[in-house]
Structure 1
Amino acid sequence: MKTSIATVCLSGTLSEKLHACAAAGFDGVEIFEPDLVAAPESPAEVRALTARLGLMIDLYQPMRDVEGVDEAAFRDVLRRAEAKFALMRELGARTVLCCSNVATATIDDDATSASQLRRLGDVAARYGVRIAYEALAWGKYVDDYRRAWRIVELADHPAVGVCLDSFHILSRGHDPAAIERIPAEKIFFLQLADAPSLSMDVLSWSRHHRLFPGEGSFDLVDLMVHVVRAGYRGPWSLEVFNDTFRQTDPARTAVHARRSLRYLEDAVARRLGDTAPDTLGALPDAGQPQGVDFVEIKAEDTSAIEALLGQAGFVPRGRHRTKPVTLWTSGRARVVLNEQHARGLQPHLSAIGVAMAQPDALTARADELGTPRAYRRTYASEESLGAAVAPDGTELYWAAAASGEPAWVGEFEHGTPGVPGTVVAIDHISLTLPWQVIEDAVLFYRSVLGLTVTGSTDVPGPQGLMRSRVMSSEDRAIRLPLNVAPPVTVERGHTAGLAQHVAFACSDVVALARDARRRGLEILPMPANYYDDLAARFDLPAQELSLLRELDLAYDRDADGEYRHFYTRTVGEVFFEFVERRAGYEGFGAGTAPVRLTAQGADARTGSVRW
C-alpha cells in the first residue's frame, strides 16, 4: 500500500511538513497550494527536497471553479491552467485536483462541464499533467461523486479522471457501492478523512472537524472495500482539515497520521480476507485485553498514597528486589508505587498494565503501528513486559494473562501475603488529557489495544465543560474514560480538574466506606443539595438516603442497575474512587461528576471542603 498525506494536515512551514512526513514513513505528499505560495523555496527547490527525503509529490491542489461556466469565464480558466500546469512541471507533480465548481458556475449541464474538462485535459496533456475531478459536498451543482464520474465519462479524455474523497462521499450519506462501477484507471486519486457525527453545515464540518481514520464515525472500511474491489492501487492519501492538528507539532502529527492509515489498512485487509490484494497486510492479532494488570503511581515520596491505600484495606506486598518500587494489593487490584527517577514529582498516574493472552503479538502490533516504546531497565531474572508510550505520556505495559497472580508479582519481597479484600479489582481508569492529544489517544487505544468508543458526554464543572469519551474492551474488562479539561482550568491555575483517577471495584462499598473511615480515610464530602437532588430524582427510601449522607456516598441508577461510589481527596495529581456496580449498570455516575469537580476545586484552593 502506498501512503500519502496532504501538507494541509500539518502545522509549520512547507519544509518542516515535508521533513515530518518523510520521518513518519509516508511514501508521498499532496502539496497544498497555499503552503507552496508561502514557502521561500522555489518549486524546483521543493522538488529537490522531496527527492532527497524519498517522497513523491502525488498531487498538487486545489484548482477551483473550472467547469460549468460561460465561455468568457472558461477562457480565464484556461489562462490560469497554463500557469498552474507550468508550475507543476517545475515542481514535478503530475496530478492536479480540480474541485467541482462552488463560486462561478452558471450552467448546470453535464455535457457543458464534460466539454470544458475535455478542453482542460488537452492543455494538461501538453504538460504531462492529469486532472483528478472531485465532487465537493458543497459544490454548486456537482456534489455527488457519481455525477462527477458521469461528467468524466462524458469528457472521455485520457488526462481526465476522478478523485474520490471519503469526506465528500460519506458526509452527504452517499452510497459508496457505485465506486466499483468506475474503471480503476479512471480513479486518479483517493483522499481519506474520518469525522465525528455533527449536526452543522457541511462546509464548516469539513474545514474544522475532519479526523484521521479510526477517530470518527465514518465507515471508512466499507468505503475502502469498494475502492479496492474497483481495482484502485494508487496512494491512500490523508486530507484532514482540523484546527487542532494545524497547531500541534508536525512530526508528532505525521506519526499519528501514518498510524491511522496502518490501522485502516489492517481493518480493510481483514474485511476482504482471502480476496485482499497482496499490497494490503493485516496487523498481528493480539486479541482483546483480559483486564487491568496494575496501575502505577509515581512520585518522589509515595508515603501519602501508601497511607491512603492502607486505609482502604490494601496490603503491602513488599519492595522490588532491584528498584525503589513497592506493590500494594487487594484482591486483583494491584497498585505499584514508584519512587525511581522521581525527584520533585508529585504523586501522579504514570503507567497502566494490561493482561494479554498473546503479549508477544501485541508487541509486534505496537511496533508495526509505530508506537514509541517505554524503556525500563530489566535484569535477566525479571519478567520482561511489553511497553509503549501513550500520546499523553502515560506508559502502557502488558504481560501474559494468568489465572492467579502474574509472574512479576514474585519480584516484590518481604511483604504481607495477598489476601481477599472488599476491594476486588480495578473497575476503570479515568485519564484527563491535554486538548491537543485526545484524538491521538483515541486512535492509540483503538489501534493498539482494540478498544472502542462506547460512550461520550460533556460534564459541566465550575471552570467549564469537560468532554469525556469512554473507551472499553468488548467485555468491559477495561474501561478508560478519556477526559479533556477546558483550557480555562489550566489558564487560571485550577489543576484539580486535571487529576487522573483510578476507580476500584468493591464487593460492598458501604462496608468499605465505614471501615476506611475508622482507619482514618478522608472521603471527599458531598453537599446537602446533592442528596436533596437524589431524593427528588430517584425517590430513595429515607433510610437509604440517610446512609448515603452519613458516609458521603454518591449514587446513580438507570434501567439496568445501580451505582454506589465515593471519592478520596486528591493527593498530588491523583485520587481514588471506590465503586459498587449492581445488576447491569455500565455507567460512571456522570451526574455526580459536576459535584465532585466543585468539591475538588474547593479542596485544591483551601485544603478543605465546606458545604
Structure 2
Amino acid sequence: MRTSIATVCLSGSLEEKMAACAEAGFDGIEVFEPDLVGSDLSPEEIRARATRLGLSLDLYQPLRDFEGVDEATLTDNLRRAEARFVVMNRLGIDTVLVCSNVATATVESDEVAAEQLRRLGDLAASYGVRVAYEALAWGRYVDDYRRAWRIVERADHPAVGTCLDSFHILSRGHDPADIAWIPGEKIFFVQLADAPRLTMDVLSWSRHHRLFPGEGDFDLGGFVATVAGTGYAGPLSLEVFNDTFRQTDTHRTAAHALRSLVWLQDQAARRADDRADDRADDRAGGLATISRVAPPAAVDFVEVKAEDTSAVETMLDQLGLTFRGQHRTKPVRLWSAGEVRIVLNEQHARDLEPEVAGIGLQVEDAVAAEARAGQLAVAPVPRRTQADEQRLAGFAAPNGLEVFLAERPAPGVQPAWTHEFEHGLAPEDPGCYLAVDHVNLVHTWQEHDEAVLFWTSVLGLDAPPATEVASPQGLVRSRVMRTADGGVRLPLNVAPQVSPEYPEHVALACSDIWSVAARARARGMEFLPVPDNYYDDLAARLGLDAALLDRLRSHQLLLDRGPEGEFLHFYTRRVGRVFFEVVQRAAGYDGYGAGDAPVRLASQARLDRVASVGRGRRGRS
C-alpha cells in the first residue's frame, strides 16, 4: 500500500517537512491546515514542489465541527467548507478530513448528521472533492467509528465516506473487528498511530502521547490486517501528535516514521496470511513485506572503545576473564571467559574515555537479517576487513551504538572471527562464566521511542512495559528489549540527562558468583561500595540469617529475592562511561534487581562527587 504521513508529525516549516518526507521515501503527505497557513508558499507553489519531490498530496485536514448543528450554523459551515475546497483545488488535493463535532453540535441525531453530510457531499462533489468523516474519540455525540459509519451509510452520497483512525478507535477500547463490514471503497482514508496505555483524559493522551507504530501498546498489526481485508486501496498514513517528535530533527523523524510504517505493513501482512489459512478470500493484498528473520539467539560480543583501554583490561583481569589475543591487523584486543567476549578497541578513539561502542549478536541467518535492516532503511556501519577476515554485517542503532550480526556457531565452537586474534592465553576457568546476561544502554529522551522501534522492527526483540527507578538526579525510565528466552536482554534507560552519572554497563552471568567476587578482591578490585543501611534493610525485608548477611556484606554483594527466584549481583566501579556487573540467577529469576538500582546509582553519585572534589583540588594546586 502507498505510504503517507501528516505534516503535523514533524518539526520545521512545511517546505522542510516535505523535503524530509521525500528523502525518507514516503509516497505522499497529509497537509495539516496550520502548516499551510504558516507557509509563505502559495498553494500552487506547494503543489509544484510536491510534484518535483515525487510526493502526492493525499489529504487536507481538518474541517472541524460541521454536523449536528442548527440551520444558521450549517450555512456558515458550508461557507467555511467551500473556501477550503477552493484551496484544495489549487493544491490538487481531492480528499478532506471532517472530524465529528466536539464543540457546536446541538442535535444528537444520526438522521440530521447524515442529511448535513449529504449537503456537504453535494458541495464537495461540485469541486471534485471527497469527504472522509471521522469519529473523534472525544466527539460530543459521535465518538465511535461504528456510529460514524452508520451516519455515512444514511447519508448515502458517493462523495461521503469514512476515515478510520487507529488512535480514536483503540484508545476508546472499541473493537476494530466490525471494520470488516465496511466496504473498502467507502473507506476514504486510514490514519495510524500507536500509543502507550495511559490513564488520563483521551484528548490530552491524543495530543501529547501518540507514537509511531511498534512503539506503544496498540495491536496495529491486527488493525491494518482488518482494514486491508475490506479491499481498501488508499494510503496508510501516520498521524502522530507527540511533543518529542515535533522538537527533533525533521529528517531523522521522517526516516524513523517510514521505518515504522514498513514494519507495520509486514506485521499486518503476516497477520492477514494467518487468517487466510482458513479462508482463502481473507488474504490482504497490497501490504508490503520484508525479509523474515528469527530474533537473535545470544550476545556474541560487547565492544568497549577508548583511546586507552588499559584500565578496562585491569578490571577484566580482576574479574577472571582471559586475554585471548591482539587482532592481527587492528589495535583491538579480545578478552573472554566461557561465552563472554569483550572486545577492546583503541582505533579512531582519540580523547575518548571507555564506553560501550558496539554489540555483536548471533543470528540464525545473517544475510536475511542484514537484508531486513536494509529494507527498514537502517544506516549500515561498514568496517574495513582484510581478505582473510570475517565480515560482520553492521548497522547503527539510534544512540550511535554499532550493532553487528554473526552466524550462530555450533555448540561449543567459538565464532570464526575470534581466530583473527593472536598470541593470547588459555582461559583460566571457562566453566564459571556463562554468557553476557544483559547490556544496559542509555538514551536521551529524544532517542528512546526510536530505539524501541529499532530493536523490535529490525531484530524482533520484545518490549515489555517500562519501569521507573529513582536516582539522586531524578527518575530513570527503563524498558528492557529482549528475546522471549532471555538470550538477549538490552535494558534501555532514559536518564534525566545523559552524562557520566549515567554510564552504561555490561552484566556477565556466572554459575558461582562467590568465587568470582573472592578472586576479584584477591586481585585488588575495589567494588562499588554498598552502604550498611542496605544490608540492615535486606535483613528486615527478607529475614536473612546473620551468617548469610555477613557473607553478602563482606563481598559487597546485593540480593534480590522474589516468588520467581533469586538474584545475586555485584558492581565494579566505573571507568569512563562503562562498568561491569556480575550476576547469578537462581530458580527462574527473570528480573534485573530493580530494587537495588537506587543503591547503585546513589553509590556511583557519591564516588563521582569525591572524584570531582579531588580534581578540583589538583587543579588549584
Q: TM-score, normalised by structure 2?
A: 0.96
- In 1, the alpha carbon distance for the partners of 2:534 and 2:68 equals 63
What does 1:52-63 correspond to in 2, within 5 Å? 52-63=52-63
Confirm or deny that 1:355 pairs with 2:365.
no
Corresponding position of 1:288: 295
Asked if the contact 1:294–1:334 (Cα under 8 Å) also holds between the matched residues in 2, the reply is: yes
**Distance 1:102-1:483 versus aligned 2 partners, 3 A rule:** same
Q: 1:478 aligns with which of 483, 488, 502?
A: 488
Confirm or deny that 1:442 pairs with 2:461.
no
What does 1:581-596 correspond to in 2, within 5 Å? 581-596=585-600
Name the aligned partner's letter for residue 227 of structure 1: V
Q: 1:503 aligns with which of 488, 504, 507?
A: 507
What does 1:81-480 correspond to in 2, within 5 Å? 81-273=81-273, 275-403=282-410, 404-419=413-428, 420=430, 422-480=432-490
The Cα shift of 1:276 comes to: 3.5
What does 1:571-590 correspond to in 2, within 5 Å? 571-590=575-594
Deviations 1:277-328 (A, max 9, x none): 4422322122121100000000000000000000101111111111110000
Confirm or deny that 1:37 pairs with 2:41.
no
- In 2, the alpha carbon distance for the partners of 1:127 and 1:417 equals 80
Asked if the contact 1:465–1:486 (Cα under 8 Å) also holds between the matched residues in 2, the reply is: yes
Deviations 1:15-72 (A, max 9, x none): 0000000011000000101111111111111111111000000001001001000001
Asked if the contact 1:455–1:471 (Cα under 8 Å) also holds between the matched residues in 2, the reply is: no
Name the aligned partner's letter for residue 442 of structure 2: T
What does 1:537-552 correspond to in 2, within 5 Å? 537-552=541-556
CA RMSD between the two structures: 1.3
Name the aligned partner's letter for residue 15 of structure 2: S
Confirm or deny that 1:556 pairs with 2:560.
yes
Confirm or deny that 1:534 pairs with 2:538.
yes
Name the aligned partner's letter for residue 506 of structure 1: C
Matched position secondary structure for 1:234:
coil
Displaced runs of 4 or more, over 3 A: 274-278
Deviation larger for 265-274 or 432-441: 265-274
- In 2, the alpha carbon distance for the partners of 1:411 and 1:530 equals 45
- In 2, the alpha carbon distance for the partners of 1:277 and 1:594 equals 49
Q: Which runs of 5+ in 1 are unaligned?
A: none
- In 1, the alpha carbon distance for the partners of 2:229 and 2:292 equals 24
The Cα shift of 1:82 comes to: 1.2
The Cα shift of 1:496 comes to: 3.7
The Cα shift of 1:380 comes to: 1.2
Asked if the contact 2:340–2:434 (Cα under 8 Å) also holds between the matched residues in 1, the reply is: yes
Name the aligned partner's letter for residue 63 of structure 1: L
The Cα shift of 1:456 comes to: 2.3
Name the aligned partner's letter for residue 538 of structure 1: L
Asked if the contact 1:288–1:474 (Cα under 8 Å) also holds between the matched residues in 2, the reply is: no
Asked if the contact 2:225–2:284 (Cα under 8 Å) also holds between the matched residues in 1, the reply is: no
Deviation larger for 316-325 or 220-229: 220-229
Asked if the contact 1:566–1:578 (Cα under 8 Å) also holds between the matched residues in 2, the reply is: yes
The Cα shift of 1:424 comes to: 2.3
Corresponding position of 2:70: 70
- In 1, the alpha carbon distance for the partners of 2:223 and 2:349 equals 48
Asked if the contact 1:95–1:131 (Cα under 8 Å) also holds between the matched residues in 2, the reply is: yes
- In 2, the alpha carbon distance for the partners of 1:279 and 1:199 equals 36
- In 2, the alpha carbon distance for the partners of 1:406 and 1:281 equals 35
The Cα shift of 1:607 comes to: 2.7
Deviations 1:240-288 (A, max 9, x none): 0000000000100111110111111111111122654442232212212
- In 2, the alpha carbon distance for the partners of 1:536 and 1:58 equals 64
Matched position secondary structure for 2:266:
helix
Confirm or deny that 1:519 pairs with 2:552.
no
Matched position secondary structure for 1:78:
helix
Asked if the contact 1:331–1:425 (Cα under 8 Å) also holds between the matched residues in 2, the reply is: yes
- In 2, the alpha carbon distance for the partners of 1:175 and 1:430 equals 38
- In 2, the alpha carbon distance for the partners of 1:276 and 1:28 equals 25
Name the aligned partner's letter for residue 415 of structure 1: G
- In 2, the alpha carbon distance for the partners of 1:410 and 1:579 equals 28
The Cα shift of 1:458 comes to: 0.4
Deviations 1:388-422 (A, max 9, x none): 10000000001010121000000001111345153
Asked if the contact 2:65–2:104 (Cα under 8 Å) also holds between the matched residues in 1, the reply is: yes
Matched position secondary structure for 1:82:
helix
- In 1, the alpha carbon distance for the partners of 2:78 and 2:284 equals 40
The Cα shift of 1:500 comes to: 0.6
Q: Which runs of 5+ in 2 are unaligned?
A: 277-281, 614-621
- In 1, the alpha carbon distance for the partners of 2:265 and 2:386 equals 37
The Cα shift of 1:455 comes to: 4.3
- In 2, the alpha carbon distance for the partners of 1:159 and 1:348 equals 59
Name the aligned partner's letter for residue 519 of structure 2: D
Deviation larger for 191-200 or 449-458: 449-458
The Cα shift of 1:498 comes to: 2.1
The Cα shift of 1:585 comes to: 0.2
The Cα shift of 1:497 comes to: 3.5
Matched position secondary structure for 1:311:
helix
The Cα shift of 1:92 comes to: 1.1
Asked if the contact 1:423–1:504 (Cα under 8 Å) also holds between the matched residues in 2, the reply is: yes
The Cα shift of 1:608 comes to: 9.5
- In 1, the alpha carbon distance for the partners of 2:115 and 2:231 equals 27
Percent sequence identity is 61
Matched position secondary structure for 1:452:
coil
Asked if the contact 1:244–1:436 (Cα under 8 Å) also holds between the matched residues in 2, the reply is: yes
The Cα shift of 1:171 comes to: 0.4
Asked if the contact 2:229–2:284 (Cα under 8 Å) also holds between the matched residues in 1, the reply is: no
The Cα shift of 1:474 comes to: 1.7
The Cα shift of 1:583 comes to: 1.0
Asked if the contact 2:4–2:238 (Cα under 8 Å) also holds between the matched residues in 1, the reply is: yes
Matched position secondary structure for 2:124:
helix
Asked if the contact 1:461–1:598 (Cα under 8 Å) also holds between the matched residues in 2, the reply is: yes
Q: TM-score, normalised by structure 1?
A: 0.97
Asked if the contact 2:366–2:407 (Cα under 8 Å) also holds between the matched residues in 1, the reply is: yes
- In 2, the alpha carbon distance for the partners of 1:158 and 1:424 equals 66
- In 2, the alpha carbon distance for the partners of 1:418 and 1:229 equals 58
How many residues matched? 604
Deviations 1:439-494 (A, max 9, x none): 0000100011110113421001111100000111121100011100014xx5xxxx
The Cα shift of 1:138 comes to: 0.0
Deviation larger for 131-140 or 74-83: 74-83
Deviation larger for 562-571 or 495-504: 495-504
- In 2, the alpha carbon distance for the partners of 1:222 and 1:499 equals 39
The Cα shift of 1:77 comes to: 0.1
